[in-house]
Structure 1
Amino acid sequence: MRQPSLDVLMDQVDSKYTLVVVTAKRARSFMEDGNSEGVNKGIKPVSLALEDIAQGKIRYERTREGIK
């Protein structure tokens, strides 16, 4: 499985920091479930998370607009 390019991923999120946080949370959810078909096939959870983000399956919401 090839990981999506950074250009495709950045179209889905607003910053690289957000990309890292969303990817980490999604990968953790794959590891906690353990019964995902991709994880069972030997594909790493981070790769699956990046693929989900690139396909637009993951949504996120920023709770604050910055430090005031």
Structure 2
Amino acid sequence: MIQIFLIISIISIIISGMFLGVWTSGQQQRANYHSETKDHRDFRSRVGIYAGLIGLASLGLAGLLYYI
């Protein structure tokens, strides 16, 4: 059960990083910002934040299950 929550958390955090543009350089981030619409940017941010929250919750559950 712990492994399932760890896998979910790792995948969710990677998806969050991809949608929020965490692993891009400053120049690429600036180019992405100026080349997309506000709606697209809001969608990417929303998906990134939700995926990050799911990842953190799954990681917390895995830690909780480990110590119980």
Q: Same fold (TM over 0.5)?
A: no
- Higher Rg: 2
Q: What range is the shorter-chain TM-score in?
A: 0.3 to 0.5
Ranked by relative contact order (alpha carbons within 8 Å, sequence separation 6 or more), the top structure is: 2
TM-score, normalised via structure 1 length: 0.36
